[in-house]
Amino acid sequence: MAVLPILSVPVFYGMLLCGWNAVGENLTFRQPWWTAFLILAGVTLLLCAANWVIVLCRLKKGIPDPQELRRWNSLALGYKLVSVPFFVLNFFFWLTVGIVAFLPGGFLFLPVLLPAAAVTYAAMLTSSADTVGVLLAYRKRGRNVPVRHLIFQFLFVLDVPDECCLHRKFRKEK
């Protein structure tokens, strides 16, 4: 359960480093870094899909006991908090690239922005899979979990404070 989050955090930060070096000082794409960025982006997409499959299979296998659910929720919170710096740095990096795209000759960057946003969203979904799994497990146990918590896990920025609230709420439960 905790292996994919542990693997994905260095992949996220490595992808950001490769993206930064791919653009370079003079804003030209440098091939080795760009290739590494694309490979890590593909790994991110695979990790996202694998994490969702594992979470859904785990739920299909049976509902974990309350102690296991609290542990799973704690791991989900830790994963979210470790990922926050990546998303902040990622935002500023792609904001810079987006601004450059509107400068003369910068139109070459426009085709890069949409795939970059998709990969960043996949990274966010990877961190949300465990929280969604915990929420669905609590619903199966008969606990009334508002749908807004599920929706927040699919929205940038709102997923982290929501996970903090959920962790605090479920931590007290027996």
**How many alpha carbons lie under 13 Å from residue 119 in its C-beta half-sphere?**
25
Domain layout of the chain by residue ranges: 3-171
Query: Is-above-0.95 flag for pTM?
Result: no
pLDDT in tens, 79-130: 888 888 888 887 887 777 777 777 777 676 667 777 778 888 888 888 898 8
CA dist 82 and 127 (Å) reads 10
Average pLDDT in the 33-49 region? 78
